[in-house]
A and B are shown apart, each in its own frame.
Chain A
């Protein structure tokens, strides 16, 4: 009988890309749960809608590109892109804003660049940045007021109807400025104590947001524990943010305090779920630290001196640009060599 002919190795670990992506989806659930508990049904509806649109547009593009649709859909990467956008967009963002973000992420940022593995930019963040600059009103006025499901949050039907109506702005009483937004704009004319009086901060650091960030942190630690992601990018990310915050922002009457930077906005979601997208990130350990630190530093710079209250998307995209450069200059030292061979062949003596 004819034996199977195969090149070594003959054994393989059983953790394919689809399983890796599934774990990312699972690890994001605590964060989604916290969002739903503290901000109502908006995020859950957005996630379901975004994932559906992501898979549909991925399938359509794969078909256009004459690729095996089922084979690629099953890798779950489109679902992850949809999930990340659903988690990031404002709770009451009209459906078409979400759709534009998802479609530009999958079609333009991913498939037009050659599909999975070939995109230089984080697809979800391309979509997010696009709608953020295109639809500033919809992207800033639709953040839900922190109100728990059992304590005044709009019901599922009302939320769904609001999103589906396609209105630029949702019911005024349901929404509220985010803590980062509030602090950034009020601190120029008020003291820290006055600013923190606003209900968006609640009694803790940032009402609701602190739990959401803690939940994403927990999910991220699970991913590190499972060796789905390495600790380097989150460590660089948070390290960069912390160092900048300590260096510049120790006066709470001038700048947002460190606790707000860490536990408000998209910090933990960005550090563990967005910046760690391997395709568009640096590869070596050293490179990942630099890449993460760059994002953390840029987030602080944009949040503090830029025009936007949060800055995960722009910072990630800016560092995506730097990835090939970082990769060329941070290769590890190979066993038996004195030094790492940095740079590109021919460019060094």
Chain B
């Protein structure tokens, strides 16, 4: 007898499971069209690898994930690809997403399959690749790609492999019926997973309200070391964390994964899919779905092709359209309502409840919380649902987080027992969403601040560099001036020293020249005006240069701003800056030319002063 532990809290809602266990699993058949969402699990969406109008065979890969985490999608039957477009998909928001629609041709013609007779002769990685190529993702919860889950980090050795057959949610019997009718395949899948992981212990956990399934599995595991653990019926014993606690007495650390404590949970349906993928070479193209509720005449479980519209399934179960008041995908505790029955069955779809108004009535209006604490008694995570509710309602998210809001698994036990019928889970979802939005906002703001600060720093640096260059230029100019002066003085001194006579004669010559020039000037005033005009010319040039420089600076600044904002007119501004740059250069050249000229001019006329 396997030792069992208890988890705190939990509730005992009416089970309503007998509604859908009276009939054996039926085949839902091939509907008129199949809608295959490209994203059926967490991770990255697959990309279509077929064209509209292409004929595909049953089991043919029609979409795959090229980069990132995900698994391929296969054609559930042979037919024509009708479209690749947005369709309503199963999602609480009722959103539409990219889907491939397939028009079955009725021939159900298989593609080439490659079954493996003895997987033990293969490498483990080869088997994992087979599981991936079969498009298998977890068929219970969020649909995590199974091949990735089966390859935990090296330092996380899985010592206990748990097959979760608890199926604690009311109404749902898909796993129950699978275990009853496909016990051998369940065990075969478990064996393959155990061969990959090599755990010390394999346990199948089943709630004690499924005696037929327990008997079937006990028979199928006879003579093996696999334990069948019969756990007391209590919602949510099938929650991953709760089942681990029941079967091992250990708790998954907050924020961690079961592999952190050497445990892994796999779903019953996933085990069957793994067995079929490895020994038959069959990809995941169908699953067992429970169709139940008082609004269907023949409730039960259906072997359903992935992509089958819910509408088709409801017809198979004999739905009374007028009686359906709400359509729940999943169980009554954690499932979500559908806006339309056109959404398809996907890899994680386990149950559809077509409920009448009296079956799942609208809850009475919310009353004030009387702090009765029933919610805390029911919480399987040992949270304080009531305090979380106060803080969520008051938008005191910091306090809600302090009370471990993010450990909430949204099982709905608190809302179920609340005498004031407060939709507690909805408040927690709101708070979680707000906190996530705030965190995203904060991240964005931090990035923007970093960008701004980087820009400020750059501008400052540039300003300093500019200042430095200006100082260098000024220094260089001063030096040049000083040098020139020194040279001139030296030249003058040398000239005097070397040959006084020559100097004298030069002076004479200069005097003559001046005289000559004077006479010339008196004759024609125009040429003599030229040197006199040199001075105002330089001033104008200097002004021109500074104008050009300031314009260049403005343009440069504008360009920088544009670059920071990634504006569209970047190219234009760059051109403008280049143009201004040229203009400044030209002005500088003109000025220096003029300066040289001026410098040459006065030396000639110096002696006149």
Contact = CB atoms under 8 A, between A and B. Distances in A.
Interface of A: 1-13, 15-17, 19-20, 71, 75, 77, 115-118, 227, 230, 278-279, 281, 283-284, 288, 327, 331-337, 341, 344-346
A327 B387 contact: yes
A9 B399 contact: no
25 contacts: A3-B337, A7-B425, A7-B429, A8-B333, A8-B410, A9-B416, A10-B355, A11-B14, A13-B11, A13-B416, A16-B367, A16-B419, A116-B370, A117-B368, A117-B370, A117-B371, A227-B374, A278-B372, A283-B386, A334-B382, A335-B7, A335-B254, A335-B381, A336-B255, A341-B403
Q: Closest 4 A-B residue pairs measured CB to CB? A: A9-B412, A117-B368, A4-B326, A336-B254
B416 A12 contact: yes
A118 B339 CA distance: 37
A11 B419 contact: no
B135 interface: no
B386 A9 contact: no
Contacts of A332: 376, 382-384
A7 B423 contact: yes
Nearest to B372: A278
A333 B374 CA distance: 17
Contacts of A71: 365
Nearest to A74: B367
Contacts of A3: 324-327, 337-339
A208 to B, nearest CB: 33
Nearest to B364: A16
B368 A118 contact: yes
Given A11-B416, A281-B371, 18 more contacts: A2-B339, A3-B338, A3-B339, A9-B416, A10-B326, A13-B416, A16-B364, A19-B419, A116-B367, A117-B371, A279-B370, A283-B373, A284-B376, A332-B376, A333-B382, A334-B383, A335-B381, A344-B399
B369 interface: yes
Contacts of B403: 331, 341
B325 A4 contact: yes
B398 interface: yes
A115 B425 CA distance: 24
Given A5-B337, A341-B403, A336 B251 contact: yes
A256 to B, nearest CB: 33
Contacts of B417: 13, 15
Interface string B245-266: 1000001111110000000000
B254 A334 contact: yes
Contacts of A336: 241, 251-256, 381, 407
A12 B363 contact: yes
B328 interface: yes
B170 interface: yes
B425 A8 contact: yes
B241 A335 contact: yes
Contacts of B364: 16
Nearest to A9: B412
Contacts of A341: 402-404
Q: Interface majority SS on B: helix, strand, loop or mixed?
A: loop
B83 interface: no
A20 B402 contact: no
- For B353, B364, B372, B403, the residue with the greatest tally of chain A CB atoms inside 10 Å of its CB is B372
Contacts of A281: 371
Given A284-B384, A341-B403, A20 B332 contact: no
Nearest to A7: B426
Given A12-B416, A17-B420, A336-B253, A115 B368 contact: yes
A9 B332 contact: yes
A4 B361 CA distance: 10
A7 B11 CA distance: 19
A234 to B, nearest CB: 14
B189 to A, nearest CB: 28
Given A332-B384, A335-B382, A336-B254, A10 B332 contact: yes
Nearest to B327: A3
A10 B360 contact: yes
A15 B13 CA distance: 13
Nearest to A283: B373
Given A335-B251, A345-B398, A15 B419 contact: yes
B362 interface: yes
A283 B322 CA distance: 45
Contacts of A7: 336, 423, 425-426, 429
B369 to A, nearest CB: 5
B499 to A, nearest CB: 93
A77 to B, nearest CB: 7
Contact of A12 (B245, B324, B383, B421): B421
Contacts of B150: none
A132 B337 CA distance: 56
B321 interface: yes
A1 B324 contact: yes
Interface string B312-344: 000000000110111110101111111100000
A334 to B, nearest CB: 4
